[in-house]
Each structure stands twice: as structure tokens, then as C-alpha cells.
């Protein structure tokens, strides 16, 4: 089960979901799960794989769900945990977790939570967008690019992009829904045309609703954001959803050049990732 489970886990991480995974690392006696058996649960509640079934699996599944929700003493900074299960009802008062079973075997299971890396959708492949892509590459983050101009969203300009989109805003979002948009941790509105950015903002806010992902940020002045906010309200977007958008984006470090702005923007994303994961723990 190793490869299918790991493939499933990587797919869920690419979708922007957290995953809790259990792996049997040692077994002796009569046990349902052998070393290498794995089971994973994503933050949307889906499950894949098995560690052997029966009471052991139910106990481990409960532990994984608690870890995903930040309970059971789990902390991302402390990492996961290793637990030894004795498949016998008389295992009390021993340094193991007893299960109501007569098998008599012993299983050691490692449990951990995996956090998805940021995947930034760069809306506008100009100078700042290209610099942000370079920082993402350096950080090991994924990035995708949308630009209505094909010459600003191609493989020559963004050789390591996960996705390249050159459709209009309506065409791009016609193939997206709330679940698919969650593969992006952040949508950054950096376009050359304010009308494109405004259209993208309103459509994404409508599709995303009050979901956690993706976060949305826009480059620009306070007056530009005031105009965007007014248009969004006119389009029926709730004020709380509008208030979740960051504009201007980037930590205030006195950034002027595209390279400095990219550093400030990615630093802000990193700080937001830390806050989200700490609160969820």
C-alpha cells in the first residue's frame, strides 16, 4: 500500500489540503497490518489506505482526525508521534495502548500531519510577477501564471510554472469551482490592466465565498482599492469577504524595485502560512 497511499497524499497536498498519515513501522505476532501499511486522512474528511482494519484501524483513524483538528496534544512544531498497540485486552498497565482483541500481536505506528506548500497564482506576468515566481522557485513553492497576454504567460518567461493560462478572466474561471480554486494558497492581482484585476477579484470572491483558500492580495494604492471595493459591493460581495483581501500586498519593508516587492510579498505569504498552521494546530 505504500505507493498508492503516498500518491494519494501528494495529490491531496497539491489540492491544498492538510493530510494526517499513519504508517506501520514495526509489527510482531499476529497483527492485521504489516510494516509498510499506511492510512491517510485529508482535511476534507476523505480517507485512503489501511493499517489492517478492525479495532486498530478505528483507534488510529480517531487519532489522525484529532491531529488534523489540532487536538490530542498535537503540535506542528513538536511533530507527530509514535504509538505502540498491543492487540490483547489484557495489555493494561503496560507501556502500550491495549486493544480489545485476542490476536496478541504488537504494532508500532507512526502518525504525522503533512502541510501543503504554498501555490501562488500570479495574475499578471509582468516584472513583479516574474520576480515573485523566482522567489517561489527559491522557496520550493509552486506558482502558476494567468495573463491575458500570451507573451507574458509562456514557458520562456516562466519555465518552472505549474500552470500557464492565457484565456480571458471569464474563460479561465468557467472551468474552476470552489474546490479547484483551493489548490492555490494565494491569488495575487498584479495585472497591467486594472479592469482585468477588478474582474478577476470579483469573480474569485463570488466563487470562493467565505472559504479559507485562496487568500487574495492586490498590488496598488489605497485609492485603487477603494474603487475595487466599491465595485465589489455593487456586485453583491459581502463586506467581510472584501475585507479579507490584502491591498496593498507585501510587508512594509520600504520595497521599491520589482525584486524588493517580490521579497516583501512572499515574506507576507510566509508569515500568513505560519499563522494559519499555528492556529489550526
State the cell numbers at 94. Answer: 503496560
Cβ atoms < 10 Å from Cβ of 66? 15
pLDDT at residue 174, rounded to an integer: 92
Span of 24-33, 122-131, 177-186, 224-233 with lowest mean pLDDT = 24-33
% of residues, the chain, pLDDT over 90: 65
Say if domain 119-280 classifies as CATH 3.90.1200.10.
Answer: no
Span of 5-9, 55-59, 138-142, 164-168 with lowest mean pLDDT = 55-59
238-256: pLDDT as tens digits: 999 999 999 999 999 999 9
State the cell numbers at 98. Answer: 491495549
pLDDT at residue 33, rounded to an integer: 72
pLDDT at residue 95, rounded to an integer: 46
Q: Which whole number is the average pLDDT over 201-223? A: 87
pLDDT above 70: residue 77? no
| pTM (2 d.p.) | 0.85
Domain ranges of the chain: 2-114, 119-280
pLDDT above 90: residue 94? no
C-alpha–C-alpha distance, residues 88 and 85, integer Å? 9
| Residue with the three cell numbers 466563487 | 207
% of residues, the chain, pLDDT over 70: 86
Mean pLDDT of the chain: 88
Q: Which whole number is the average pLDDT over 215-226? A: 92
Crossing angle of helices 222-234 and 194-208, in 10° steps, is 50
pLDDT band at 89 (very low <50, low <70, confident <90, very high): low
pLDDT at residue 72, rounded to an integer: 59
Which alpha helices (DSSP H) does 178-221 contain, by range?
A: 178-181, 194-208
101-129: pLDDT as tens digits: 555 678 899 999 999 999 999 999 999 99
pLDDT at residue 107, rounded to an integer: 85
In angstroms, what CA-CA distances link 12 with 173, 194, 214? 21, 34, 15
pLDDT at residue 263, rounded to an integer: 97
Q: Which whole number is the average pLDDT over 266-270? A: 96
Amino acid at each position: 500500500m505504500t505507493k498508492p497511499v503516498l500518491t494519494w497524499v501528494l495529490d491531496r497536498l497539491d489540492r491544498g489540503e492538510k493530510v494526517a498519515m499513519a504508517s506501520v513501522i514495526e509489527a510482531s505476532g499476529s497483527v492485521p497490518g504489516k510494516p509498510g501499511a499506511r492510512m491517510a486522512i485529508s482535511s476534507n474528511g476523505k480517507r485512503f489506505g489501511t493499517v489492517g482494519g478492525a479495532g486498530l484501524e478505528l483507534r488510529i483513524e480517531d487519532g489522525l482526525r484529532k491531529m488534523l483538528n489540532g487536538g490530542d496534544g498535537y503540535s506542528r512544531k513538536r511533530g507527530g508521534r509514535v504509538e505502540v498497540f498491543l492487540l490483547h485486552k489484557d495489555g493494561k498497565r503496560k507501556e502500550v495502548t491495549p486493544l480489545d482483541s485476542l490476536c496478541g500481536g504488537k504494532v508500532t505506528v507512526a502518525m504525522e500531519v503533512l502541510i501543503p506548500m504554498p501555490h501562488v497564482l500570479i495574475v499578471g506576468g509582468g516584472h513583479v510577477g516574474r520576480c515573485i515566481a523566482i522567489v517561489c522557485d527559491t522557496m520550493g513553492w509552486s506558482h502558476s501564471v494567468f495573463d491575458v497576454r500570451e507573451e507574458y504567460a509562456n514557458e520562456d518567461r516562466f519555465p518552472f510554472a505549474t500552470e500557464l493560462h492565457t484565456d480571458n478572466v471569464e474563460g479561465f474561471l468557467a472551468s474552476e469551482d470552489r474546490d479547484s480554486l483551493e489548490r492555490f494558497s494565494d491569488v495575487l492581482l498584479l495585472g497591467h490592466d486594472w479592469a482585468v484585476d477588478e474582474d478577476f477579484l470579483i469573480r474569485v470572491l463570488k466563487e470562493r465565498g467565505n472559504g479559507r483558500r485562496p487568500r487574495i492580495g492586490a498590488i496598488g494604492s489605497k485609492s485603487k482599492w477603494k474603487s475595487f471595493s466599491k465595485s465589489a459591493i455593487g456586485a453583491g460581495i459581502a463586506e467581510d469577504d472584501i475585507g479579507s483581501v490584502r491591498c496593498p500586498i507585501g510587508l512594509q519593508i520600504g520595497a521599491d524595485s520589482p525584486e524588493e516587492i517580490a521579497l516583501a510579498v512572499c515574506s507576507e505569504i510566509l508569515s500568513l502560512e505560519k499563522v494559519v498552521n499555528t492556529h489550526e494546530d
